[in-house]
């Protein structure tokens, strides 16, 4: 499968659907984005652009501002200054616009979003139902793209993801009993359950052994039709998945590199 | 387009948004209750505390507790039980990182708070039922069905105040202490009107006689809901 929700056109071609409607070529566009915590600037006037279907890595040492940037793109955190556009829409224009855009975003953060006491199936069903309850997606998506896979129910997406991430054996196991690698995979399934167009991965390889990293890298390569932004301090692993890297240092974009 | 059509469209959009918010809140509450019942030790500790407290009260007053004393016992215990419930309400989500997960959901931020309020109200109502049964058995209190309505409003009001304060303090150090300090003054109108209405009910007053207390509870609910809807979006920001 092409990572539940993806199309069959292959990496880099996902924008076709979008371009037919509203000619959107840029998935993420940041202009002069700064974020301040008290007197500390986590991000200083960051400007960058990610094309639809592109796989981009945010690189840099700890404290460079990668997680803050991911959280801002995921609309989890408002920037102190600057504008954030997701698929051509101002992400923080108002709360309803932010909510609509969240249909297009799948986030895998440092922390797991799974509830320990619930099984993997219950966790995925919880998030899937919350996404399907809020019907604004059709209205928003209908305005610019053909909405590949929108018609399928979350149960169908769940079975596709379970097959893709090889989670079948673990579906009825409580999240607290999963190993770190399995939990990461379940978290990826959680982030993809609503078929987002933009996938954000914050340090996805952190804390994993070599074979689990290999496995995840292979999964990510299959995210055809999606835009992927990945943060990592490992150049080697970023290179395995992404085609372009953006080097951050002390909250500033230092350089853009071809991986 | 005629104005009435625009108004109708706006009205239908608002209804859809309100329905989605309410539905999302119910799903969150359902998830929280499921988690709570699976990790039963926290719920059991609240129930054990309530049971032990009312037993101690019955040792002091015997079977001769007046309605005023019984009502005071019930609401003091309920207040402390609510501190136990709301200490972990938002804090657990913030500490485990699942709050970020809730923030990825495409809904109004208020839906998350409403979900926590419904969850808290359900737990407090359960505690109230246990307390009421114990009060009837150990304090010889006269049970009346109308008292359940007072308890329901009280649980909803305490849950609103408790959840909102729990969200306010979740990112601060010493959150447990802060919650205990802040919850008392904020929930004072609930405690005053709730205990007064309960005392009158146990004393045999009619529903009409406790209406001022009920009105105060409803006014409190409306006021805190207004404050929450205006401020919660900023409260939930890290």
Q: Is residue A84 part of a domain?
A: yes
Domain that holds residue A29: 15-258
pLDDT at A100 over 60: yes
Domain assignment of residue A8, yes or no: no
ipTM score above 0.90: no
**Does A7 map to a domain?**
no
- Confirm if A49 and A26 have CB atoms less than 8 A apart: yes
Cβ A199 vs Cβ A241: under 8 Å: no
Average pLDDT over residues A59-67: 90
What is the pLDDT at residue B165? 94
pLDDT in tens, A39-48: 899 999 999 9
Q: Of A11-15, A210-214, B193-197, which one has max mean pLDDT?
A: B193-197
Check A111 against B38: CB less than 8 A apart. Answer: no
Instruction: Report the share of chain A in percent with pLDDT over 70.
Output: 83
Contacts of B237 in chain A (CB under 8 A): 77-78
Q: Is residue A2 part of a domain?
A: no
CA A258 to chain B, closest CA, distance in angstroms equals: 31
Q: Please report residues of A whose CB lies closer than 8 A to that of B31.
A: 115, 118, 126
What's the pTM value of the predicted model, to 2 decimals?
0.85
The verdict on a CB contact (< 8 Å) between A127 and B105 is yes
Chain B residues touching A127 at Cβ < 8 A: 101, 105
Q: So what's the pLDDT on residue B99?
A: 92
- A229-257 residue pLDDT tens: 999 888 888 888 888 999 999 999 988 88
More confident residue, B129 or A233: B129
Q: Does residue A166 form part of some domain?
A: yes
Give B162's pLDDT tier (boundaries 50, 70, 90): very high
The span from the first CA to the last CA of chain B, in angstroms, equals 43
Write the pLDDT tens digit of every residue in A25-40.
Answer: 889 999 999 999 888 9
List, as one string, the DSSP characters of chain B. --HHHHHHHHHHHHHHHHHHHHHHHHHHHHHHHHHHHHSHHHHHHHHHHHHHHHHHHHHHHGGG--HHHHHHHHHHHHHHHHHHHHHHHTHHHHHHTHHHHHHTSSS-HHHHHHHHHHHHHHHHHHHHHHHHHHHHHHS-PPP-THHHHHHHHHHHHHHHHHHHHHHHHTTSTTHHHHHHHHHHHHTHHHHHHHHHHHHHHHTT--TGGGHHHHHHHHHHHHHHHHHHHHHHHHHS--
Whether residue B105 and residue A131 make contact (CB cut-off 8 A), yes or no, is yes
User: For residues B23 and A133, is the Cβ–Cβ distance under 8 A?
Assistant: yes
More confident residue, B56 or B2: B56
Mean pLDDT of chain B: 89
Domain ranges of chain B: 20-235
Please answer yes or no on whether B106 and A100 come within 8 Å at the CB atom.
yes
Q: Does the pLDDT at position A5 exceed 70?
A: no
What would the mean pLDDT of B149-166 be, rounded to a whole number? 94
The rounded mean pLDDT for chain A is 81
Asked whether residue A5 is assigned to any structural domain, the reply reads no
pLDDT in the model for residue B37: 92
Q: Which range (A13-22, A223-232, B132-141) has the least confidence? A: A13-22
- What mean pLDDT do residues B24-49 have? 92
| A248 neighbors A257 (Cβ within 8 angstroms) | no
* pLDDT of residue B100 exceeding 70: yes
CATH code for the domain in which residue A119 is found: 3.40.50.300
Please tell me the predicted confidence (pLDDT) of residue A233: 83
CA dist., res. B169 & res. B172, Å (int):
5
| pLDDT at res. A19 | 40
Cross-chain residue pair A115–B31, CB shorter than 8 Å: yes
Give domain status of residue A10, yes or no.
no
Q: How far apart are CA B238 and CA B229, in angstroms?
A: 18
For residue B35, the tally of other CB atoms under 10 A from its CB is 18
Given an 8 Å threshold on Cβ–Cβ distance, is B108 in contact with A95?
yes
Q: How many domains does chain A have?
A: 1
A-B contacts (CB, under 8 Å): 79
Sheet holding A227-232, edge to edge: A105-108, A198-202, A227-232, A55-59, A244-249, A252-258
A101-151: pLDDT as tens digits: 898 999 999 889 999 999 999 999 999 988 876 544 444 444 334 344 445
3-state helix, strand, coil in chain A (%, to 5): 35, 25, 40
Would you state the pLDDT for residue A1?
Answer: 44
């Amino acid at each position: 499968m092409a990572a539940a929700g993806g199309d069959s056109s292959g990496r880099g071609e996902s924008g076709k659907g979008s371009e037919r409607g509203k000619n959107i070529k840029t998935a993420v566009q940041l202009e002069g984005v700064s974020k301040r915590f008290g007197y500390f600037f986590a991000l200083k006037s960051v400007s960058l652009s990610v094309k639809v279907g592109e796989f981009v890595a945010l690189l840099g040492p700890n404290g460079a501002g990668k997680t803050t940037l991911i959280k801002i793109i995921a609309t989890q955190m408002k920037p102190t200054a600057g504008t954030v556009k997701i698929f051509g829409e101002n992400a923080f224009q108002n709360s309803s616009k932010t909510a609509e855009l969240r249909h297009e975003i799948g986030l895998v953060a440092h922390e797991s979003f799974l509830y320990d006491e619930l099984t993997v199936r219950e966790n995925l069903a919880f998030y899937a139902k919350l996404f399907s309850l809020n019907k604004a997606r059709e209205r928003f998506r209908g305005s610019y793209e053909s909405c590949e896979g929108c018609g399928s129910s979350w149960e169908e997406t769940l079975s596709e993801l379970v097959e893709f991430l090889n989670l079948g054996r673990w579906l009825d196991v409580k999240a607290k009993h999963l190993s770190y690698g399995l939990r990461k995979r379940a978290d990826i399934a959680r982030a993809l359950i609503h078929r987002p167009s933009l996938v954000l991965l914050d340090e996805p390889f952190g804390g994993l052994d070599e074979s689990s990293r290999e496995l995840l890298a292979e999964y990510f390569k299959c995210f055809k039709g999606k835009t992927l932004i990945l943060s990592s301090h490992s150049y080697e692993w970023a290179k395995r998945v992404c085609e372009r890297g953006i080097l951050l240092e002390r909250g500033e974009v230092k350089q853009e590199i071809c991986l | 387009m005629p104005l009435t059509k625009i108004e109708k469209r706006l009205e239908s959009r608002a209804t859809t948004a309100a329905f989605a918010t309410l539905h999302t809140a119910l799903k969150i509450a359902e998830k929280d209750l499921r988690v709570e019942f699976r990790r039963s030790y926290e719920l059991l500790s609240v129930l054990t505390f309530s049971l032990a407290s009312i037993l101690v009260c019955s040792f002091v007053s015997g079977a001769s507790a007046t309605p005023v004393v019984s009502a005071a016992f019930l609401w003091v215990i309920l207040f402390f039980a609510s501190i136990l419930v709301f200490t972990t309400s938002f804090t657990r989500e913030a500490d485990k990182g699942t709050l970020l997960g809730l923030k990825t959901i495409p809904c109004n931020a208020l839906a998350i708070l409403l979900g926590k309020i419904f969850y808290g109200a359900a737990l407090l109502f359960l505690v109230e039922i246990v307390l009421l049964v114990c009060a009837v058995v150990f304090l010889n209190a006269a049970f009346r069905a109308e008292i359940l309505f007072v308890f329901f409003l009280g649980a909803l009001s305490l849950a609103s105040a408790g959840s909102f304060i729990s969200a306010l303090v979740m990112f601060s150090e010493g959150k447990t202490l802060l919650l205990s300090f802040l919850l008392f003054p904020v929930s004072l109108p609930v405690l005053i009107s709730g205990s007064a209405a309960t005392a009158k009910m146990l004393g045999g007053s009619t529903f009409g006689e406790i209406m001022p207390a009920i009105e105060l509870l409803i006014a409190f609910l409306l006021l805190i809901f207004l404050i929450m809807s205006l401020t919660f979006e900023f409260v939930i920001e890290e």
